[in-house]
Structure 1
Amino acid sequence: TRLDNRLDQLVNIDMGEQGVEHLFEAARALQGGSLLGAAAEAPMAVPEGGTVVLTTGSVSRAWITPDLGENDGPSGAAAIARALVLARNTTCVMLWEETLLPAIRNTCQTAGLFPVTLEQAAIARADKSFATIVMLPYATEDEVWQAQATQMLKDLKPDLLFSTERVGRNEFGVYHSMRGIDYGMGRARVDCLLDEALARGIPVVAVGDGGNEIGMGKVADHVKTHVPYGDTCQCGCGGGIGAITGCDVLVTAACSNWGCTAIAAAMAARAGNARLLHSPGREALLLDAMVASGLINSTHGIVDDSVDGFPRHSHLAVAELCRTIVSRAL
């Protein structure tokens, strides 16, 4: 428990001054204990050979081009998928916009996961021959999501859903950026799938850093009070940027990727397996892969190896500190 609490404290230092410390306190009070501990327990409880659906990131400026995605989210989700495959021999299914599948493919492959079809993943799971990832597109049209959600949950039968840095709609159905701008165009309605999963009692873990992400519905009142544009956006819809979709376990972090790094560390400690760690070396590889894939540092509006405006070395440092925190358990 002390280990989990230290990870909580590390990744919730509000370096970006977005109000995350208020969200952390609220989420922790609701959880009744460590957020990272609960978030690590959920994937470790997935049955051996089970299925986990993950989603992350999103189109960044679709009014310019739907091919542009942001770099907070993909590397963190890839780190969690890697840890899941190594710890539980899971079939991990990553959902993204179809236009961004090449970028997430490159990111996951850099994390050590080879992209395959669902049928190929079943073969790999059976003989435990190598680590795989399945990538599927999700609908961007409002009128399609319900049928796709129902069919996908029926076909995949997931044991867990995991979301990180995935923007969710507010009470008026609008998806917002942290600047309170309508970000809905070209965006896959994955939050609707998670709503359906929650209604069916399928566990959902969500990571976010700003209040507009899937999962933040759990602390909606605190988003309105403490986050810029949390109460009133700039698009004129009449609401704030807060996402209405909740979750079972909410992990807050100053940068969503850091939350995932810490979850992987907590999973490694529980498994007694250092291979599950998201190491500084792997983070460096992933930052470079995301640059090569054209994923944008959305804060500064440029393709580079900073994420959420935090420079490269800060991300390597968080990975190293998480490894240090759990080193005795390993």
Structure 2
Amino acid sequence: ARSVEMSKCQSVMSLSALRALIRKKTHGIENTSGLAAGYQQANVVILHKSLADGFEAFCHANPSPLPLLYRSQPGEWGCPPLAADADIRVDCPQYCVFKDGLLVSRVSSLMSYSGQLQDMVTFYLGCSFSFERTMREAGVPVRNVEQNCNVSMFRTSLQCRGVGQFQCPMVVTMRPIPEEKLDIVAQITHLTPLAHGGPIHIGDPAVLGIQDVSRPEYGDPVALGPGDVPAFWACGVTGVEAVQSCKPSLAFTHSPGCMFLTDREDSSVSASTSTPEPDQCPLTFSISQQPLHFSVASKAVVQSIRDLEKIIGEDPGERGIRALFVQDELLRSCLSLSHSSSVLITTGFPTHYTHNPPEETDGPPGAIAIAATLQALQKEVAIVTDHRALEMNQRIMEDAVKKGVIKTAVPLLSYQGNSPDSALYFLCHDGDHKKPRFDHLVAIERSGRASDGNYYNMRGVNIKHLVDPIDDLFTTASTIPGISTTGIGDGGNELGMGKVKEAVREHMPNGSLIACDVAADFAITAGVSNWGGYGMACALYILSLCPIHQRYLHKGLGQPHPPTQDQHQAWAASLPSVAKEEEMLSILVQHGVRSGKTGTLGMEVDGLTFHPTHSDLIIKLRDRISQRK
């Protein structure tokens, strides 16, 4: 533990005097977390000059773990831009000595290596200890300081962008953060890119390949308090891994947690007293409890998606669907989808049981709109439908591709649920919970199972004989960690709307009979279900343009770059438009698919003509997203 003298004097001492105390090695300073409050601390990597250019390029390729503050000249002990009267040979509490990439000793001074250091270059890299004071002043507990120990540091399964001889995994720090403080922590740290910036992951450590947070590779175990969530930041100890990867004959680093103290004020201090612009203000949202997972987007993007949610929630049919509305379900669903790699979509409501086909025009256009944008974002997509409608849907898909509604045909599947394990084997390779084929299921205007096991249209007619048990996929998915689900509906009898079934029973006509009993993680209410699909496509597009979300999505790896022109064009081209959706509706009509409310075989959905009702809504969505370009 630090000595009483050290803790009393640090607040009134100059940083130069504080470094002088560290040089004496007599004050029991085991790590520098909690010291030099309000000033930047630095990780240190010292390499032979022949490796310096390569390591600098490695830092620039991986700025989140390795934010470069200063590169010295060969044999330069000081670092004038960062500190006065510094001597890197003695100014860290402890150093690591590496020979041929292997750690051979830990020493309190490098004075005995002064001869070799004449041909070596020192790199000073930003450190997350720098923002600890600002966190405390914002009322955020710093658990490792409370517990009088070093921060926990972990080697992850994330590979940095390699440069030449430097090829290594990223190291992260873990800080337990009370869930209600996540927003303020993200905002404080986002504005400090030279101290690693915002968190790269919040939630389940296994996402980063960390199996046990009580056994860090570097530092000390730090216990989570009640209500705490593990949050992870890129860490400069990645430089230690880089040294080991390139196996230099001799190299030095700081000992993890034993940083170099600079005279430079921490930028988070000034950042915390100013109001960030909405584009630079991150907000955090829970997107999964099994496993625990949060995501991040800017305040501006969050507001844009809330605007989309309001647009799709218009109720021209006066069905009273506002009673089913839950705020931010569109946002949280799209954040989850953004993290997904493989998505299964289902649709199909055979409400017209006296016609062939019995399907309605609400659902398929929205499903195709979602699939088109997911494809543009490089997600794997499949659609599962009733076996009796499989051939018709294949023809509809072929026509949609020919007419340019979607660029590439989506694979079509069917599911009949022939055995108790059918759903598990459909969702997971070899029925293994740890090997899911899909990480998100989306149901849009899909008939959902009621509490009595039947399927009802809005008039209370049982259509179970026309419906395959695709609901089983959603109930099984709820037991498999890593699979999230979304339901989109406009009446409450749709698959996934079981999340709001009590509101359906209370407020919707025939609600006590028709309410779907199968819940999804996210239940999106729309005036017409297709509109929910259009809104989802637009929200995914907006998220793809959010630098804060994209950095978090890619876990801080590599240089953050805006999308290329080709990427942007592909994303924009995938979005629903008046022309594409009119063409899609025309295709459905040609295949005999009818309007849900009236049974009309014409250009309408739920009794609302395409022009002007649906076309005007699409224009509103497009106008809203154009404000984000």
Instruction: Judge conservation of contact 2:494–2:516 (CA < 8 Å) in 1.
Output: yes
Instruction: Judge conservation of contact 1:111–1:282 (CA < 8 Å) in 2.
Output: no
Determine whether 1:82 maps to 2:372. Answer: yes
User: 2:487 corresponds to which letter in structure 1?
Assistant: A
Instruction: Judge conservation of contact 1:96–1:138 (CA < 8 Å) in 2.
Output: yes
Determine whether 1:8 maps to 2:305. Answer: no
Deviation at 1:217, TM superposition (A): 1.0
Deviation at 1:113, TM superposition (A): 8.8
Determine whether 1:224 maps to 2:505. Answer: yes
Specify whether residues 182 and 103 from structure 1 end up closer, same or farther in structure 2 by C-alpha distance, changes over 3 A only: same
What is the match of residue 118 of structure 1? none
Aligned match of 1:134 in 411, 418, 427? 411
Instruction: Judge conservation of contact 1:264–1:277 (CA < 8 Å) in 2.
Output: yes
Q: Give 5+ residue unaligned stretches, structure 1.
A: 29-33, 115-129, 232-239
Aligned match of 2:381 in 76, 82, 92? 92
Deviation at 1:144, TM superposition (A): 2.1
Instruction: Judge conservation of contact 2:348–2:364 (CA < 8 Å) in 1.
Output: yes
Deviation at 1:110, TM superposition (A): 4.6
Distance 2:584 2:387 in 1: 21
Helix, strand or coil for the counterpart of 1:223? helix
Instruction: Judge conservation of contact 1:66–1:99 (CA < 8 Å) in 2.
Output: no
The size of the alignment, in residue pairs, is 292
Distance 1:263 1:60 in 2: 24
Distance 2:344 2:437 in 1: 9
Write out aligned runs for 1:1-330 (5 A): 1-24=302-325, 27-28=326-327, 34-46=328-340, 50-62=341-353, 64=354, 67-87=357-377, 89-112=378-401, 131-139=408-416, 144=418, 146-155=420-429, 157-201=437-481, 202-231=483-512, 240-272=513-545, 273-313=571-611, 314-330=613-629
Distance 1:187 1:217 in 2: 17
Distance 1:327 1:294 in 2: 35
Distance 2:420 2:507 in 1: 32
User: 2:616 corresponds to which letter in structure 1?
Assistant: A
Instruction: Judge conservation of contact 2:332–2:522 (CA < 8 Å) in 1.
Output: yes
More strand by share: 2
Helix, strand or coil for the counterpart of 1:199? coil
TM-score of the pair, normalised by structure 1: 0.83
Specify whether residues 106 and 39 from structure 1 end up closer, same or farther in structure 2 by C-alpha distance, changes over 3 A only: farther
Specify whether residues 308 and 191 from structure 1 end up closer, same or farther in structure 2 by C-alpha distance, changes over 3 A only: same
Specify whether residues 66 and 150 from structure 1 end up closer, same or farther in structure 2 by C-alpha distance, changes over 3 A only: farther
Deviations 1:203-224 (A, max 9, x none): 0011000010111111111001
Moved more, 294-303 or 246-255: 294-303
More helix by share: 1
User: 2:595 corresponds to which letter in structure 1?
Assistant: N
Distance 1:146 1:280 in 2: 44
Helix, strand or coil for the counterpart of 1:165? strand
The structure with the larger Rg is: 2
Instruction: Judge conservation of contact 2:423–2:473 (CA < 8 Å) in 1.
Output: yes
Deviation at 1:51, TM superposition (A): 1.9
Deviations 1:15-41 (A, max 9, x none): 1122211101xx22xxxxx22222221
Q: Percent identity?
A: 28
| Higher RCO (C-alpha under 8 Å, 6+ residues apart) | 1
Deviations 1:71-101 (A, max 9, x none): 11001001101111111x2221111112222
Alignment RMSD: 2.0
Instruction: Judge conservation of contact 1:113–1:132 (CA < 8 Å) in 2.
Output: no
Distance 2:420 2:409 in 1: 28
Distance 2:487 2:392 in 1: 21
Deviation at 1:108, TM superposition (A): 3.3
Helix, strand or coil for the counterpart of 1:219? helix
Structure 1 stretches of at least 4 aligned residues deviating more than 6 Å after TM superposition: none
Distance 1:95 1:145 in 2: 18
Distance 2:364 2:334 in 1: 18
Distance 2:320 2:474 in 1: 25
Deviation at 1:60, TM superposition (A): 2.9
Distance 1:86 1:318 in 2: 23
Helix, strand or coil for the counterpart of 1:94? strand
User: 1:137 corresponds to which letter in structure 2?
Assistant: S
